[in-house]
Amino acid sequence: MNYLFLRYFRIALCIILLTHLTGCWDQIELEDRALILGIGIDEAEPDAAEKEDLSSHHAQETKALDDRMIRVTAQIAVPGRIPLGPGGNDGSSEGKNEPVWVVSVVGHTLHDALSNLQQEIADPRSLIHLRVIVVNEKIARRGLDDLNDYLRRNQEVRRSTWLLVTDNIAADLMNVAPPLERVPTLYLLAMLEKAQGMGKFPKNSLSNFWNSESKMGQNAFLPYVSIRQQDNILIGGLAYFNSSKLVGTTTPFEIGAYMAANGINPGGYSALYNVPGIGFVTIRTTARESNIEVKIQNGRPHATISINVQAELAEKYSPAREMDDQEELDLAEQEFNRVAKSVLSGLIKKTQQGKSDIFGFGEIVRAHQRQFWHEHIHKKSDWENLYSDMTYTIHMNTDIRRVGMKID
């Protein structure tokens, strides 16, 4: 009898304890959260300190930071209005059913600005669905350490979030309304992810940026975007950093050179160039392979970059030549090798001027030249100084496999 009583008592106790594990006691419905999808960060106006809503400090306590205030523009999802698929505007053109609500506040830090934002919205703000952060170029040039510190410490921020740099006002990207997507942030996200899939841009989320920044022998880069024709967004190149500060940007064409040097696939870039005796042709890369070796020559690192590219003939400008002869294809390959080497060499020199090793040559030295590394590199700036004077050799080989419907 006592055994049965103990058995039933234990079962009842387990059932009671299970009710405390459901998590319902502290639940917050999605409709009761202010879900922030995107954030734009710009420099605040000179008189921003006088207009700030003081929600986390006294004015005198932060006077030293008044000249570094930021304006944060947040894109907040409106419950029930985010489209789950393609569809009509549902009257959004009248401004009554917009899927997002754009709110702008100022603050001395990112947390301070978001605290001020909370004072203006009823529901608790949440960053669990934050997908895109756009930073104005002026903010990036003065440094991202303070922004990264907050983002690293906040457990709601996904490491798959994209961090971008723009030469426009970042708040403007929170208001862009392209016809292909009703939600500007989701359009930005889709554009970056599809560019990655098409070989137009390397994978580079927050986690990649932080990993590169934390390495002794490598520097980080971010996508550099611009607004074109009001509602179009252009991936304008790479924004490369030194000590978390923006030091330079590339052109879109140089993105392809960076991806070729690192063997990042698929190949997605095309090159229009003049082949002597043939005329202008366009070659589209389809696949890339690369091998980088760094050896110590005369007490200095020397990099040898070997790149193999598979390509196809996309177009031929001059109708006089058919480009169906192997000798003509060889000429096109040789000229493409020359053009590609010139572009990559220019990119390396540009990053050397900014002391920003986005290629990761320093990590190769650290892995394979341990004695040299321990003798000469004691902090990250030591490698950055060495990188600025590093010599290199580029070997380029191109194989045009397709000239139309025919594959060689």
pLDDT digits (tens, 9 = 90+) for 174-185: 888 777 777 888
Collapsing DSSP states into helix, strand and coil, what is residue 15?
helix
Question: What is the C-alpha to C-alpha distance for residues 272 and 205, in angstroms, rounded to an integer?
Answer: 30
Measure the CA–CA gap between 89 and 369, rounded to whole angstroms.
59
- What pLDDT is attached to residue 354? 96
> Could you say which architecture CATH assigns to the domain 252-402?
2-Layer Sandwich (3.30)
Predicted confidence (pLDDT) per residue in 13-44, tens digit? 888 777 766 666 556 666 667 899 999 999 99
Model confidence pLDDT, tens digit, residues 111-150: 999 998 998 888 889 999 999 999 999 999 999 999 999 9
Preceding omega of 266 cis (within 30 degrees of 0): yes
According to DSSP, the residues that pair with 392 across neighbouring strands are 303
Residue 380 to residue 359: CA distance in whole angstroms? 15
Q: Using one digit for the tens of pLDDT, what is the confidence trace for 155-173? A: 999 999 999 999 999 999 9
**Residue the block writes with tokens 């892995």:** 367
Q: What is the pLDDT of residue 94?
A: 45
Contact (Cβ atoms closer than 8 angstroms) between residue 323 and residue 278: yes
Give the highest mean pLDDT range of 23-37, 215-229, 309-323. 215-229
The domain locations on the chain are 31-46+65-78+98-249, 252-402
Tell me how many degrees the CA angle 111-135-61 measures, rounded to the nearest 5: 35
